[in-house]
Amino acid sequence: MKIQTNYSNIWKIAYPIILGSIAQNIIALTDTAFLGHLSETALGAAAIATIFYFAVIMLGWGFGLGVQIVIARRYGEGNYKLVGKTFDHAFYFLVALSILLLGFMEILSPPILKTIVKSDAIFQASNEYISVRAWGILFACINLLFRAFYIGIAKTKIISWSTAFMAIINIFFDYTLIFGELGMPEMGIKGAALASVIAEASVLVFFIVYTLRKTPIDKYNLFAFSYIDKDLYCRLLKVSFPMMIQNFLSLSCWFIFFLLVEKMGERELAISNIIRSIYVLIMVPVWAFASAANTLVSQVIGEGHVKEVLPVIYRTVKLSFVCVLVLVGISMINPELVISIYTEEAGLIADTKPVLYVIFGAALLFPIGITLFQGVSGTGNTFHAMLLEILVLTFYLVGVYMLIQVFRLPISGVWISEYFYAGFLALASWLYLRFVNWKESKI
């Protein structure tokens, strides 16, 4: 069966991920909106704590992306039984990893945050959030594995269904636990964290039930839980470990960005958290199409159709760019209305608006940079992708430091750093795909 790489099939793979990502971002939006109405301190603390949490869980996310690439390659080869064996071996690893990450968060996050966060109020609120949110890692890591499996075999509708279910659960418990509605305890920022943990546990149950009822388990040899195959683990880690480091470093750099912003003041941090939520929402199509490109690149290489790699990447870039352009255009019609979702304070809305215009331009560069970069990862040369990411992140952090510490620009000027990241990533990835020999990669 030849994998279709036309616009229609790219959209077929990407749109359920887009729907799922929209639901995921509704979770982030409601968290930010509810906490914004709670207090400015809670809003700023949520930014620090959430990015800290995701920087840690990026180790699991990176492993999941590596598993996705391997599963897509086996699927492209028609080796379906090895798909399930790869899934089971990844499960062993992610269970152990989730326990280690939970221990790290519970034991080490308070002293780390105490050292790096300037505001005592922000530290206290961040620590309250993470003490509860950390338990979600146990469920989130396995959810990432199911996501990797379904994207790897290009059956992505389940991603949208599961994330929509997660959003409904999270919004309900956000409302009831943050403000103490419907007989629930009033927990404030801890309520937002607990709502997320409940949502992650619920969606894991959803994935398990769906897979047992709707997925041909025998075809893929899922849940066989065979003895550990050391050679398979070596191949998995060869692909996944660089992606674990790469994704961890990427989110860690954004965490550093927010720490530097926090030192500018609580107002600047609150503005940046609002911008982060809007920005991530605009970026939904980018990550969805990038996942589609990643999967299709690995699948067509598995089929032996290497010449299809660059065309499918370029088609995906075009689709992603058009979607982001539409979202930016809609947002520019009434930016005050968009910002008012998160806060009713007129001064905060006015201060946030210039930053919003800055990120609109940066958002149009990301469809190019992220899709090209995920194309590099899809070839299986994840070590080279990691090196590219480290190079780009170095330029990015230098730029952030210069804008904040040397030029001392206002918060709108600081967010210009996003142009550095997107531009350098696009250039480095294009040069790699154009001039480096990646066609013989084996995974």
* Alpha helix stretches (DSSP H) within 283-416: 284-303, 309-333, 335-340, 346-363, 366-378, 382-401, 411-414
Residue 213 CB partners (closer than 8 Å, separation 6+): none
Residue 439 has pLDDT above 70, yes or no: yes
Tokens encoding 13: 């793979």
pLDDT of residue 6: 85
pLDDT of residue 26: 66
pLDDT in tens, 250-274: 888 888 898 899 889 878 988 998 8
pLDDT in tens, 154-170: 898 898 899 889 889 98
Residue 81 lies in a domain: yes
Residue 1 lies in a domain: no
Sign of CA dihedral 223, 200, 169, 106: positive
pLDDT of residue 443: 81
Only one residue has tokens 């309250």, namely: 128
Only one residue has tokens 């992140």, namely: 393
Report the C-alpha gap between 55 and 104 in whole angstroms.
12
- In the chain, the number of structural domains is 1
pLDDT in tens, 418-437: 999 999 999 999 999 999 98
Band of pLDDT at residue 37, cut at 50, 70 and 90: low
Residue 303 lies in a domain: yes
Report the C-alpha gap between 380 and 20 in whole angstroms.
25
Report the C-alpha gap between 94 and 115 in whole angstroms.
29
Average pLDDT over residues 72-99: 94
Domain that holds residue 207: 7-435
Residue 442 lies in a domain: no
Residue 77 lies in a domain: yes
Residue 342 has pLDDT above 60, yes or no: yes
Q: What share of the chain is helix, strand, coil (3-state, %, to 5)?
A: 85, 0, 15
Residue 441 lies in a domain: no
Residue 2 lies in a domain: no
Residue 443 lies in a domain: no
Measured from the Cβ of residue 311, the count of other Cβ atoms closer than 10 Å reads 12
